[in-house]
Structure 1
Amino acid sequence: MKTQNFGYKKLYIDGQLVDAVSGEKADVICPATGEVIAEVAKAGKADAEKALISAKKGFKYWSKLSLTERTAWMTKLRSAILEKEHELRTAMVHEMGKTYAGAYEDIEAVINALEWYPAAMKNMREEQIPDYENTHTHKMISKPAGVAVAYLAWNFPLLNVGFKLGPALAAGCSIIIKPSMLSPLSTYMIGEILNSINFPAGVVNIVAGSSKEVAIPMTTSKIPAVLTMIGSTATGQKVIADSVTSIKKLGMELGGNAPFIIFEDADFDTALDLAIGLKFGNSGQVCVAANRIFVHKNIYEKFMKAYVKRASKLKLGFGTKENPEVFMGPVVTRSDRDRMFNLIEDAVSKGAKLEYGGKIPEGFPKNGNWIEPTIVSNITPDMDLFRKETFGPVAAIMSFETDDEVLELANDTEFGLASYIFTNNHKRIERFTEELEFGEIQINGVKYAIYLPHGGFKNSGIGHDCSHLALDDYLVKKRISTAL
C-alpha cells in the first residue's frame, strides 16, 4: 500500500497560517499502514488564547456584514474547496482510512452547507406576535450570538466542518474549529484554502491540540457565546461542565446506539442492503450506524445466512482513487481495534456466537489497524455490544418475537440518536414512531441531507445539526415591542 506525504501544515489564526507559539508539531498517522503522512502544528494554550482574541475581533467585522456580503464570501470559499476536491479527498483517505468514494460525502456536506445556509437565512422571516389588548405591536428578530467554538470528531473530518461552518457563517458568527488530532489534516487544508482567498481575518480560526491545552482554555473562556461539538457523550458532558464560567449556548451531537429493526413483513433485500451499509460503511465509525440489529424470529435464519454471505464478500483495502472497489478500510487507531476485540470477547464469554470475522485479515500492513467485518449473534442486554456504542465494524444481532419485546429492547439504552424500522404494517409504524425514544426514526429506507434535522434525545445531545434548526445554535432573539 503506497501512501503519500502531505508535508507540514500550520494553524490558521487571524487570517494567517502560523506555527504554534511553542513550535510544537505532531505527526498524522495513516491507519492503513501506520506510516507518518503529514506533520501539523500542535496548538497550545497560547494559541487557543490567540484564536479567541482573533475570533472576537472577527465577529465584530463579520456580524456587521450584510447577508449578501457574507454569502459572497461563502460562495468564494465553496468554489475554492471544489477546486481542491481531489486533494482533500485523498487527505481523508490517508488520515483516517476512508475510501475515496466515501470521502465525497464529506466534500458534499461542506459545499452544500456553504450554499444552503445563506439561503436559509434569507428565507428566515421576522415573527409577528399578536397583541390581545391592541396597545402595541410586537416582533421577534434574530441576531448573531457571538463567537462560536466547534469541537469536531475524527470520523467525518470535513462533513463535521461543514455542519458547523455553514450555519455559523450564515448566521453572522465567527468560529474557532478544533479538529481531532487523529484527523486534522484535511481541516488544516481548509485553513490553507481560507488563506489563499484572503477570507476576512478572524472569522474562521483552525487549531488542533490536546483537550487540556486547547479545549479547556476555550471552553472556560468568557469570550465564546456558543459551544458546539460532535463527539462522544463523555466528552460532551465534560464540555458542559467546564463551560459554566459564563452562560453559553450549547449544541451537542453525541453518541448513538441505533436499533435497526427488521420485521417479518419487511422488504428483505432493502433491509439487508442497508444493514450492510449502515454497519460496515466508514468501517462502522458512524454515530448513526446500525448498532443493534433486531430480526424477527421467522426470518432470522434467512437473514443471518444472507448477512454473513454479504459481509464475507466486502472488499477491504486502502481506498484510494485507484482502488474504487474497496468498501471498507481500517479503524482509526490500534486502541480502537483492540476495543473491538474486547467487545467481541465480552459477548462470546456471555453466550453470544461469533458468526463471521473477528480477526485481523491477512495480507495487510502489520502496522495498520485492520479488522475483518464481524458479525456476532445471540446478543443479550448484559453484553457491552448491546450497551455501548460500538463505533466499529462489529454487527450485534438478536432475534425477537413480539412488537412489545423489540420496542422495549430498542429503547433500553442511554442514547437516543437514530433508529430504523422495516415493516409494511401501518399500525405498527404509527406505534413505533410514537414510542421509539430517538430523535430520528427512519422507516423502510434511509436519508440524510443538509436540509433534514439531525439530533437526538437523552445522552445523544442537545440541539440539531443540519436544517434550519441548526441556525438556532448561532442566533439570539430580540423582542421589539412598540406602543401604538
Structure 2
Amino acid sequence: MYIDGKLIENNCKYSAINPATDEVIREISVANQETAQQALESAKNAEKTWGKTTIAERVEWMKRLRSALIENQKALRMAVHQETGKSWACTEEDFQSLIDSLEFYADEIKRYTPPTIVDTKGEFKHQLRHMPIGVVVAYLSWNFPLLNLGFKLGPAMAAGCPIILKPSIKAPLSAYLVGKICHDIGLPKGAVSVFAGNDREVGNYLSSSTIPQMLTLIGSISTGVKVMQAGATSIKRYSMELGGNTPFIVLEDADLDLAADILCGLKYNNSGQICVAPNRVMVAKSVQQAFLEKVTERADRVAVGYDIESDFVMGPVIDKWERDRIHKLVESALSAGATLVRGGQFDRDEVGAFYPPTVITDVTPEMDIYQEEIFGPVISIMTIEDHQDVIAMANETDTGLASYIFSRDTGKAQRMADQLEFGEVQINGVKYGIDLPHVGIKQSGIGCDCSKYALDDYFYLARITQAM
C-alpha cells in the first residue's frame, strides 16, 4: 500500500486472481480501519502543504509522474492484462487514458479561472476565487483500472486536493503500481494514497469519516447509494459516475454496417464491461433482419481467450460471480420468450470466467435483461415500429448515462436527441475523450468526469467583496 509517502505492508493479505487463468498473480497487503485512518490523517495534514502549493509546483509534479508512468508503461499494462484478463491491445486505452488525464489537467488548470462579476450599482468590487475542496476519497471500478484512476487523479492533483484512491479489490495491482511510482518519484506525502480493502469495513470507514470533503465513485447505482448513506456523518460533496440502461436506436435509414461495427465494438470490447455499452438495442422492424445478420457475422469473428493472436480478442469477465449473473439474465430472458441467436452457453468446468459473445432477439420491456444493466458481452435486440414510441421507451428508465441514435436523416436524429433524457447522446458514431464531459443524470450520477468541467467538483467557489 502507499500511505503517507511510504510503501506499507501489514498482515492483512489478499490474493489477486487472474480471471482468465484462475491463477494467483500476487499476494498484496490490504487496508484495515487502522491503516485507513493513517491515510485519512496523512491526507488531512497534506491540506496544509500540498493544498497550498502553487499551480506551477503541482503541474511540475504531474509532469514528473506522467514521465515516470510512461517509463513503466509495460509493467502497468501487464498489471491490467493480468488482473482483468483483457487482451493486451485493450490495455493500451487504459494506460493512455491515465497519461492523457495528467497531461490534460496539468494544462487546463493554468486556464481555470473564476468568472468576474460587475457590481450592479458600481459601489463594490467583487472578486471570485477557487479554493481546493480538501481531502478526496475516490472509489474505483475494476473494468478500466487505470482509466478510472486517471479520471480522479488528474483533476485532484491539479486542484491541490489530497486524494485517497481505493481501487476495487477485484483489480488492485495496477493502482498499487501507480502508488509505488508516486513513492519512487518522491511525491509529497499525503498528496496521494493508494490501497484496497473490504468495502464494508474499509470503504464505510472512509466514507463515514468527517475528514473527506468529497467522496467520488465510479461504480454501480447501489454502491453510490451506500456511499452516500455512509457519508451522511458530515456535509460532503459527491461526484459519481454510476450505472446506466443505455438505449441504442437503429432507424430504418441507418448505416447498418456502421451501427453494427459500433455496437459489437462496445459490447465485445472489454467483454461488454463498459458503463456506456448499449443495453437495449432498439431496431426498426423493416431493417431488423438485415441488421441482425450483420451483428451475428461480427460476433462470429470475435475470438474468446487470453494471450492469443487474433484481430479481435475478447477476454473473460472479471470473475465467475459476474459470469453467472450475466448468464442468469440471459436465461431469464429466454424463459420469458426471447430468442437465442448466438452464444449463451459455456462450460462451468472450464478455466477462467469466460462468457461467449451472445446475441438474443425478441426482447421485451418486461424482461430483467431490458430493465437491468447487463455489463457483459450480450446484445439484446427488440423491434420498434414508431419513432415517438421509441423515445418514450428509451426514456422509461430511472438512469440517464449514455444513448445512441443511428439515422442518415441528421435532422430527424437531432430532433430525437433533443427528446432523450440522457447525459450523453451520440449520433451516428461514438466519441469519448478526456476533453469531453462525461456525465450521468437521474440515478446515473452526480457531477462530471473528464473535461474542464470536472475541475468544478474539486473546488469551492468563494467571494471577496470590497467597498469602493
Matched, 1:352 2:342: no
Match of residue 461 from structure 1: 445
Normalised to the residue count of structure 1, the TM-score between the two structures is 0.95
The within-5 A match list for 1:38-117 is: 38-117=26-105
Contact 2:303–2:310 (8 Å) recurs in 1: no
Structure 1 residue runs of 5 or longer lacking an equivalent are 1-10
The CA deviation at 1:326 is 4.5
**Identity over aligned pairs, percent:** 47
Match of residue 4 from structure 1: none
The CA deviation at 1:347 is 0.4
Matched, 1:437 2:421: yes
Matched, 1:268 2:256: yes
Match of residue 213 from structure 1: 201
Match of residue 157 from structure 2: 169
Match of residue 199 from structure 1: 187
Runs of 4+ in 1 over 6 A off after TM superposition: none
Residue from 136, 158, 168 that aligns with 1:148: 136
Contact 2:63–2:106 (8 Å) recurs in 1: no
**1:184 & 1:330 partners in 2: Cα distance?**
17
The CA deviation at 1:324 is 5.7
The alpha-carbon distance between structure 1 residues 274 and 361, as it changes in their structure 2 partners (threshold 3 A), is farther
**2:309 & 2:129 partners in 1: Cα distance?**
51
**1:428 & 1:51 partners in 2: Cα distance?**
53
CA-to-partner distance for each residue in 1:311-341, whole Å, 9 max, x for gaps? 01111111x4x74644210111111111111
The within-5 A match list for 1:25-36 is: 25-36=13-24
The amino acid across from 1:17 in the alignment is: L
Match of residue 483 from structure 1: 467
State the SS of the aligned residue for 2:213.
Answer: strand
**2:350 & 2:41 partners in 1: Cα distance?**
45
Structure 2 residue runs of 5 or longer lacking an equivalent are none
**2:6 & 2:62 partners in 1: Cα distance?**
18
The alpha-carbon distance between structure 1 residues 196 and 433, as it changes in their structure 2 partners (threshold 3 A), is same
The CA deviation at 1:202 is 0.8
The CA deviation at 1:441 is 0.4
CA-to-partner distance for each residue in 1:398-448, whole Å, 9 max, x for gaps? 111111111111112121100010112233223222110100001110000
Match of residue 17 from structure 1: 7
**1:65 & 1:371 partners in 2: Cα distance?**
49
The CA deviation at 1:217 is 1.0
**1:151 & 1:134 partners in 2: Cα distance?**
46
The CA deviation at 1:118 is 2.0
The amino acid across from 1:287 in the alignment is: C
Residue from 229, 233, 244 that aligns with 1:245: 233
Contact 2:113–2:130 (8 Å) recurs in 1: no
State the SS of the aligned residue for 1:139.
Answer: strand
Match of residue 436 from structure 2: 452
The CA deviation at 1:361 is 6.4
**2:169 & 2:231 partners in 1: Cα distance?**
22
**1:361 & 1:465 partners in 2: Cα distance?**
39
The amino acid across from 2:351 in the alignment is: N
Residue from 361, 371, 376 that aligns with 2:355: 371
State the SS of the aligned residue for 1:470.
Answer: helix
The amino acid across from 1:445 in the alignment is: G
Match of residue 321 from structure 2: 335
Contact 2:435–2:451 (8 Å) recurs in 1: yes
The amino acid across from 2:313 in the alignment is: F
The amino acid across from 2:8 in the alignment is: V
Contact 1:100–1:324 (8 Å) recurs in 2: no
State the SS of the aligned residue for 1:476.
Answer: strand
Match of residue 147 from structure 2: 159
Contact 2:281–2:379 (8 Å) recurs in 1: yes
The CA deviation at 1:139 is 2.3
**2:311 & 2:27 partners in 1: Cα distance?**
29
**2:200 & 2:402 partners in 1: Cα distance?**
31
Q: What is the count of residue pairs matched by the alignment?
A: 468
**1:197 & 1:394 partners in 2: Cα distance?**
43
State the SS of the aligned residue for 1:63.
Answer: helix
**1:40 & 1:347 partners in 2: Cα distance?**
40
Match of residue 230 from structure 1: 218
State the SS of the aligned residue for 1:177.
Answer: strand
CA-to-partner distance for each residue in 1:458-478, whole Å, 9 max, x for gaps? 110001100011111110011
Normalised to the residue count of structure 2, the TM-score between the two structures is 0.98
Contact 1:149–1:228 (8 Å) recurs in 2: yes
Match of residue 5 from structure 1: none
**1:175 & 1:324 partners in 2: Cα distance?**
39
The amino acid across from 2:337 in the alignment is: G
State the SS of the aligned residue for 2:318.
Answer: coil
CA-to-partner distance for each residue in 1:6-62, whole Å, 9 max, x for gaps? xxxxx1000110013xx1110000100111011110111001101000111122211
Residue from 296, 315, 323 that aligns with 1:308: 296
State the SS of the aligned residue for 1:396.
Answer: strand
Contact 1:27–1:36 (8 Å) recurs in 2: yes
Match of residue 399 from structure 2: 415
